[in-house]
């Protein structure tokens, strides 16, 4: 569900960047980027087994 929301949010940011105000596109981009980082941290739970 969160990935659907992120794709939708990016589509909105793209439309704002293309047709809307630059002053709105920049903070929207920042918010989506932070949401992406939070989603990554939420999913990066598996232990990396790097010793072999």
In the chain, % helix, strand, coil (3-state, to 5) comes to 75, 0, 25
| Site for other proteins contains 23 (CB under 8 A) | no
Minimum distance between the CB of residue 52 and other proteins, rounded to whole angstroms?
6
Rg (CA), the chain: 15
With tokens 């990554």, the residue in question is: 40
| Site for other proteins contains 22 (CB under 8 A) | yes
* Identified binder of other proteins from the candidate list 15, 24, 27, 31, rule CB under 8 A: 15
Which tokens hold the place of 15? 């439309």
- Site residues (vs other proteins, CB under 8 A): 1-4, 6-8, 10-11, 13-15, 17-18, 22, 25-26, 29, 32-33, 36-37, 39-40, 43-44, 46, 48-50, 52
């Amino acid at each position: 569900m969160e990935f659907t929301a992120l794709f939708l949010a990016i589509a909105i940011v793209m439309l704002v960047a293309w047709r809307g105000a630059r002053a709105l596109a920049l903070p929207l981009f920042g918010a989506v980027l932070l949401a992406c980082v939070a989603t990554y941290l939420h999913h990066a739970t598996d232990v990396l087994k790097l010793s072999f």
